[in-house]
Amino acid sequence: MVDTRPFLPVSSHAGSDPTGPSENRRKPMKLQLSIFFVLLTVGFFAALLTSNNGSDNGFVKENEHGSLASPSSEKQLRPVSRGPAVGVSEKSNRLFAKDNENQLAYPWNNSMLSWQRTAFHFQPEKNWMNDPNGPLFYKGWYHFFYQYNPHAAVWGDIVWGHAVSKDLIHWLHLPLAMVADQWYDKNGVWTGSATILPDGKVVMLYTGSTTENVQVQNLAYPADHSDPLLINWVKYSGNPVLVPPPGILDKDFRDPTTAWLTSEGKWRITIGSKINKTGIALVYDTKDFINYELLDGILHAVPGTGMWECVDFFPVSKTEENGLDTSVNGPSVKHVVKASLDDDRHDYYSIGTYHEKNGTWIPDEPKIDVGIGLRYDYGIYYAAKTFYDQNKNRRVLWGWIGESDSEAADMQKGWASVQSIPRTILFDKKTGTHLLQWPVEEIESLRLKSYEFNQVKVQAGSVVPLDVGPATQLDIIAEFEIDNEALEKTTGSNVTFSCSSSGGTVERGALGPFGLLVLADDSLSEQTPVYFYIAKGSDGKLKTFFCNDQSRSSVASDVNKQIYGNLVPVLEGEKLSLRVLVDHSIVESFAQGGRTVITSRVYPTKAIYGAAKLFLFNNATEASVSASLRIWQMNSAFIRPYPNDKESQ
């Protein structure tokens, strides 16, 4: 009954109108209503159709890349953190915990906060720092660049800071090397690496975040190659030299590596990325650092690992105790691929073989492939990068150590983050699967007074104070021997142990935990244990774990209280050995010569200044241990601006 002639004029007398004048008034309304219905119907159907198209696009995308609706089908590669899913923030702080009397809400005063600043670890004078960039040795100086926020103690507005040192320990701050002054790095002058050419010149490749937030690679070089301090840098006028290739998204393309030579005499670099959830490393060849060819294949990929940031690729000698230039290859050489996983903020490495012809790499042990196996450091440690130090023929590793306190504290104290002490990297010949990291020997120049303790017996369930004077700047080398009888007598069990899911040092086993309590006050109300835990399997085999327990490191409630650590291989005939660097709010611990390393940030409120002490402890139930130690007081490195340099950072 609806009139479907929408375009008849409302008050026409021209059309047939048999109903006469009395119906004239109803006809216009009928027409209006008809038009209205038709338009309404058409409109609704049109909207229905177009909305389906729009939503289809969204659905297709999700289904391709992993359905949102079936989290149960996600394969868990590692234990899920006790994160937001259980109402606990990533820092594992308890929500609204008022019942625990030991929790102090906001104890931070300036005295506590200023104590946190380190004495001999690299950090700028103030504000935020993250990734190490472009480390190199040039004309007598070690250079260090870093991601820096000139404006605040949180990440943002990133530019390149710069410092130099003669010995990797005593650093002098220089002016900012690069700032965000081009369209291709306006939204961030991000991480990059240096390559030293055969003629001694330096080129730097780095990632820029453009004005459109696309990640691109840029070339920069020193303005004056005869300046040993490399103060001024020039960006290549034709930047960017690389943009995301087809199939790679705008925000998944960053952190180019140092280049190495191929057998064809070209330079080769790798850049981390991802495809869906598979972390990958792209490979490019270049002759001039300006024009690049993307290799058909990729260096390597590991499904499920997500975005690979700060990829590093380098050779290690299977036989010699020295480092190798990045271009070295040969039968007695293995290659390491390392990636920083954006998903879990940890650095992973794997040892394998590099196939030069097609630019691929295969891990020796696929079970401990990149991202699913070994980590450089089981604590707070990220974005690490190595360089070949041609001065001393060694490969040196830098790593960014963030804060694990609240940003409120960071903003109050005016700074955030430090770098680890640079570490030498060597292939561990004894295990064949691990790398060994060790603080560079130059750190020993900071050693002052030393204390020696021989065969100190620590009974099961006891604590022994070590009188070393002030205990906030220490270099500790220790060896532990565990009571053999207890090792043999103890019955094994099938219970699996892990540092992070254990109860920390209050969880007593037959053969552990035992080790050191650093940054502990006399009453042990605050303490940071660095320790071993030996677990005996039901097959009688021993497994040694190396852990760092932050759960009682501070009575403050807004700091990380997790327990870090991992298995450490201990070979037949080896004693348990430990080295610990204590430097105010950072503790770096090395087990078995650097086979397993843990770095943590510690923020005590009481165990600071003269109140911080050092103890041996043994909380095992059955075994006694004996410990021999050498402990040094450590001097400050007096890190400061380069003399006569008016600009401070």
Partner 1 sequence: MKNLIVIIFAFLVCQANAFRPILLLGNQNLIERTCKQTPFYDLCIWSLKSNPESRDASVKKLAQIMVDSLKTKATETLDLIDELLQDGLALDPEMQKALTSCAERYNVIIRGDVPEINEALKTGDYKFAAKGANDAAIEANSCEIEFPTKSPLTDMNKVVHDVSVVAASIVKIIQTKFSF
Active-site residue set: 131
Q: And the tokens for 151?
A: 């404006």
Q: Which residue, 30 or 287, has its beta carbon nearer to partner 1?
A: 30
Residue 50: CB minimum distance to partner 1, A:
9
Q: Which residue, 71 or 610, has its beta carbon nearer to partner 1?
A: 71
Which residue's structure tokens are 């050092």? 614
DSSP-assigned letters across all residues of 489-515: HSPP------TTTS-GGGS-BTEEEEE
Do 130 and 417 form a contact (C-beta atoms < 8 A)? yes
Q: Which residue, 103 or 500, has its beta carbon nearer to partner 1?
A: 103
Q: Which residue, 66 or 245, has its beta carbon nearer to partner 1?
A: 66
CA dihedral angle for residue 605, residue 439, residue 131, residue 415, rounded to 10 degrees: 30
Own/partner long-range contacts of 70-75 (Cβ < 8 Å, ≥24 apart): 75/304
Backbone phi, then psi, for 457, in 5-degree steps? -85, 130
Q: Which residue, 252 or 389, has its beta carbon nearer to partner 1?
A: 252
Residue 189: CB minimum distance to partner 1, A:
12
Q: Which residue, 180 or 591, has its beta carbon nearer to partner 1?
A: 180
144: helix, strand or coil: strand
Q: And the tokens for 272?
A: 């981390």
Do 499 and 545 form a contact (C-beta atoms < 8 A)? yes
Cis peptide leading into residue 513 (ω within 30°): yes
DSSP letter for 596, please: E
Do 615 and 464 form a contact (C-beta atoms < 8 A)? yes
Q: Which residue, 106 or 638, has its beta carbon nearer to partner 1?
A: 106
Residues 6 or more apart whose Cβ sits within 8 Å of residue 415 = 117, 123, 124, 125, 126, 127, 128, 153
Q: Which residue, 118 or 273, has its beta carbon nearer to partner 1?
A: 273
Q: Which residue, 383 or 563, has its beta carbon nearer to partner 1?
A: 383
41: helix, strand or coil: helix
Own/partner long-range contacts of 241-248 (Cβ < 8 Å, ≥24 apart): 241/205, 241/217, 241/289, 241/290, 241/291, 241/292, 242/216, 242/217, 242/271, 242/284, 242/292, 243/214, 243/216, 243/217, 244/214, 244/215, 244/216, 245/282, 245/294, 247/275, 248/273, 248/275, 248/282
Residue 93: CB minimum distance to partner 1, A:
6
The span from the CA of 329 to the CA of 337, in Å, is 14
Which residue's structure tokens are 């990068």? 385
Report residue 106 CA to chain centroid gap.
28
List of E strands, 323-472: 333-341, 346-355, 360-363, 374-375, 382-389, 394-401, 415-416, 418-419, 423-427, 435-439, 447-458, 462-466
Q: Identify the bridge partners of residue 489 per DSSP, sorted by sequence position.
A: none
Do 352 and 345 form a contact (C-beta atoms < 8 A)? no
